[in-house]
Amino acid sequence: MTRPSLEEMSRRLWDGEEWTLKSDNHPFVPLNVLEEVAPDVGFYKNFSNIVVVRTPEGVVMLDTGSHVALMQQLAFEKIRAYDARRVHTAVYTHGHVDHAYGLPPFLREAAERGWSPPAIVGHEAVPARMRRYIDTPGYNARINARQFGMEMEWPTTADFPTATYHDRMELHVGGVRMILRHARGETDDHTWISIPGASVLVTGDMFIWAAPNCGNPQKVQRYARDWASSLREMSAEDASVLLPGHGVPIYGKDRVRQALLETATYLESLHDQTLALMNEGATIDDVIHTVKPPASLTNRPFLQPIYDEPEFIVRNVWRCYGGWYGGVPSEVKPARRAAQAREIAALAGGVDRLVRRAEELARAGDFRLACHLADWAADAEPTSREVHAARARVYDARVKVETSTMAKGIFRDAAKGSHEIAGDEEAIESQRL
């Protein structure tokens, strides 16, 4: 079966004939294809995307792809097949390792051929992010392995920008005008790019065919309100093609505008509801169980909670304005988890009661409560193989009903840890595959 064009994939998703939840339509599916989406504008779609602008003075890359050597090589070959001229300039839409770490093969090529190396442009906050990554390899390798459910090497070097900007910057290369603008959103260092001559908008991860990644439980602060404003600014560009950080392009002015404005509305609604509740004195418990995205938008193909999810965005809005105190006074200076868990187990009449009830609740589909009980049981008896075997079953079942990468990753990791303690080799092996 031949693969449909990116435009056809996009249309099918938009029209509801395909669904981003399916693995071959998930925005992160590594297609390894490059298609021209406007005259002299190539779009390379893999796990993350790269935009290649051809000019008489050389190639401009908007994003550079991943730190993983194999992914770099795949991107290099496709881009070189599209245009072999030197890379004049590379722009990072943000400093994440799947966007700003793909230059090494192009830098090696420049050195081998005696070309001057490309200018590297990013927002002025990119270098601090790259230094933070160099300081936190152990932490970042762990949380990303947990998030994606695979072993992960974390880069300890980076190709830092050679030029940064504060608010707005124009690039003119070979007669092509590109306008770079800063926005806080998924990160504090985001750049989105407009190419007015080609009617192309490059969003970086401000648009990824999924509910915005504005709540990620394991990552630093994200900015819902600024994110929404920048989407509204992007829509004013009136572009014909939207090139996202992950997933396929969106084609047609009306669709581009709708995708941007409805994503803005989605974020603003979560933000405004959360802030209103905070002002009324609500606790985190109130807020995360009360705030919901607008019902009119929950069926949109580009707003499904397949990567991040609204409940996590709400927590990030809280963190943007509030402290870490969530409204439960005992949690300000808590007892050790193990001490709490032993006390709860004793009151329940033993750890096996907790375990049995956890499994009952899981069978009834109440995974929120089931997982609390399973965690208390495991914290009360951290080396018990039976307790961990049950906890693994509860979390394995939960992974199946969750939709977001972020939730699935954390629950899969919990199950894996318990399978290891329970000595369940088969389950550990099957999760590795």
d(CA 399, CA 29): 20
d(CA 395, CA 416): 9
Binders of Zn ion among residues 76 to 105 (CB under 5 A) are 98
Nearer of residues 18 and 205 to Zn ion, judged by Cβ: 205
Mapping DSSP to helix (H, G, I), strand (E, B) and coil, where does residue 119 land? strand
* Residue 6 Cβ vs Zn ion, minimum distance, rounded to whole Å: 18
Nearest to 152 by CA among 144, 164, 160: 144
For the record, the structure tokens of 279 come out as 């002002």
Binders of Zn ion among residues 393 to 412 (CB under 5 A) are none
For the record, the structure tokens of 416 come out as 């894996």
- Write the CA distances from 336 to 152, 189, 339, 384, 412, integer angstroms: 31, 37, 5, 19, 24
* Residue 210 Cβ vs Zn ion, minimum distance, rounded to whole Å: 11
Nearest to 194 by CA among 38, 391, 299: 38
Which of these segments, 83-91, 159-167, 237-245, 266-274, binds Zn ion (CB under 5 A)?
Answer: 237-245
Which amino acid type is present at position 348?
A: A
For the record, the structure tokens of 160 come out as 């830092």
- Give the residue closest to Zn ion by C-beta: 205
d(CA 397, CA 364): 11
Compute the half-sphere exposure of residue 225: CA atoms within 13 Å on the CB side of its CA.
Answer: 10
* Residue 11 Cβ vs Zn ion, minimum distance, rounded to whole Å: 23
Which of these segments, 148-156, 204-212, 294-302, 307-315, binds Zn ion (CB under 5 A)?
Answer: 204-212
Nearer of residues 201 and 390 to Zn ion, judged by Cβ: 201
CB 225 within 8 A of CB 254: no
**Residues binding Zn ion: number (CB under 5 A):** 3
Nearer of residues 29 and 377 to Zn ion, judged by Cβ: 29
Which of these segments, 192-200, 203-211, 265-273, 405-413, binds Zn ion (CB under 5 A)?
Answer: 203-211
Count CB-CB contacts under 10 A for residue 112: 8
Nearest to 86 by CA among 52, 41, 129: 52
Q: Does 189 bind Zn ion (CB under 5 A)?
A: no
Q: 42 forms bridges with which residues in the sheet?
A: 36, 52
Which of these segments, 61-69, 133-141, 200-208, 310-318, binds Zn ion (CB under 5 A)?
Answer: 200-208
* Residue 246 Cβ vs Zn ion, minimum distance, rounded to whole Å: 6
Nearer of residues 205 and 413 to Zn ion, judged by Cβ: 205
Q: Does 63 bind Zn ion (CB under 5 A)?
A: no
* Residue 48 Cβ vs Zn ion, minimum distance, rounded to whole Å: 5
Nearer of residues 46 and 240 to Zn ion, judged by Cβ: 46
Which amino acid type is present at position 227?
A: W
Please provide the size of the chain in residues. Answer: 433
Q: Does 188 bind Zn ion (CB under 5 A)?
A: no
Q: Does 40 bind Zn ion (CB under 5 A)?
A: no
* Residue 65 Cβ vs Zn ion, minimum distance, rounded to whole Å: 10
Q: Does 205 bind Zn ion (CB under 5 A)?
A: yes
Which of these segments, 10-18, 239-247, 258-266, 408-416, binds Zn ion (CB under 5 A)?
Answer: 239-247
Residues that bind Zn ion (CB under 5 A): 98, 205, 245
